[in-house]
Amino acid sequence: SMGETVYAAAKGGLIAFTKSLARELARYQINVNCVCPGPTDTPLFQRQPERMKQALTRAIPFRRIAQPIEIAQAVLFFLSRRSDYITGQVLSVSGGLTMAD
C-alpha cells in the first residue's frame, strides 16, 4: 500500500542506526536500544477504517491492540537499571504480530 516503502526504509534505517550506535558507544558503557511498537490504541489508530482495525486485531496473536502504557513500560524497562547489560537490541512490543504467520 501507499507509503509502505518509505515506512520500511525508515524503520530499517532506525534499526541499523540503533545497532551501529550501540557498537560505537558500548566502550563508554552507554546503552542504545530500540522499541518497535505494534498497532497501538491512539487517536491515529482510531481514525482507521473499522475493517482495518478488526483485521489487525485478528492478525495479532494476543487478539488485541496495545495500550499506550504497554509501549511506555517497554521504554521504561530500557531506561531502568534492569537493562544495564542490554545494548543494540530491538524490542518488538506487538502482541506477537511480528512472529505471526
Active site residues: 7
Work out the angle at residue 7's Cα, subtended by the Cα atoms of residues 3 and 9, and round it to the nearest 5 degrees: 120
Task: Give the DSSP letter of residue 35.
Answer: E
Q: Which long-range contacts (CB under 8 A, 24 or more apart) does 24-28 make?
A: 25/87, 26/87, 26/88
